[in-house]
Chain A
Amino acid sequence: AQSVSQHNHHVILSEAASLELGCNYSYGGTVNLFWYVQYPGQHLQLLLKYFSGDPLVKGIKGFEAEFIKSKFSFNLRKPSVQWSDTAEYFCAVNANTGRRALTFGSGTRLQVQP
């Protein structure tokens, strides 16, 4: 079975600070990796995804993530956060074959102070 750990539950940053949110997964096979964002009161939106190829993936709104296979990690980064980045961030995985349902981490609440 897959599992996902997000170690930062609540992160508070000032505008223009750099962001890195940790995500580690556990699974014996090949996985697809995702970061979703949930703005207050809204639905989940895809930030970026990794299926294969270049382990550094770029997403929307200046976010990027790096897949490090040896560390089973897929950390999310942004060099300079804005107040509008205040949201809940979820890391998720699914297996490359068979079962497609996403297994989510517990989420990280990011609060950006102006």
Chain B
Amino acid sequence: DTAVSQTPKYLVTQMGNDKSIKCEQNLGHDTMYWYKQDSKKFLKIMFSYNNKELIINETVPNRFSPKSPDKAHLNLHINSLELGDSAVYFCASSQSGIRTDTQYFGPGTRLTVL
């Protein structure tokens, strides 16, 4: 009964490949996020969806394309992978509203591009 789950946990691939990471939350939240944690542990927002609509799109290369088929899922597809894409990608979810806006994180997907 994991609240926010991600698959796969580890992903090792070659440069130039296309890969996807999936995220699912069973908390009934209406907002989902993708964060990237680099090798120095710095976390930065990439995307945010609210009720399946894209509301935040940071300066991320357009090789990264999020897709939200429904409120409980937010997938991340990455085209033409580059060495610099190696990182840990965290999915998170929250319920919008001033007092309840706590984000819950998934276990992360460690992406290694060779």
Chain B: interface size category:
20 to 34
Flag if B101 contacts A100 (CB, 8 Å).
Answer: yes
Number of interface residues of A (CB under 8 A): 26
Q: Which residues 93-112 of A sit at the B interface, judged by CB distance below 8 A?
A: 94, 96-97, 99-104, 106-107, 109
Flag if B31 contacts A100 (CB, 8 Å).
Answer: yes
Closest approach, in angstroms, between the C-beta of B36 and any C-beta of chain A? Answer: 11
Given A43-B108, A107-B42, CB of A102 within 8 Å of CB of B103: yes
**Complex Cα gap A38–B105 (Å):** 11
Flag if B40 contacts A106 (CB, 8 Å).
Answer: yes
Contacts of B45 in A (CB 8 A): 101-103
Interface-side segment among A13-21, A44-52, A74-82: A44-52
Flag if B42 contacts A42 (CB, 8 Å).
Answer: no
Q: Which residues of A contact B (CB under 8 A)?
A: 32, 34, 36, 38, 42-46, 49, 51-52, 88, 90, 94, 96-97, 99-104, 106-107, 109
Q: Which residues of B contact A (CB under 8 A)?
A: 31, 33, 35, 40-45, 48, 55-56, 90, 92, 94, 96, 98-99, 101-108
The list of the 4 closest CB pairs from A to B, nearest first, reads A101-B45, A44-B105, A104-B43, A43-B107
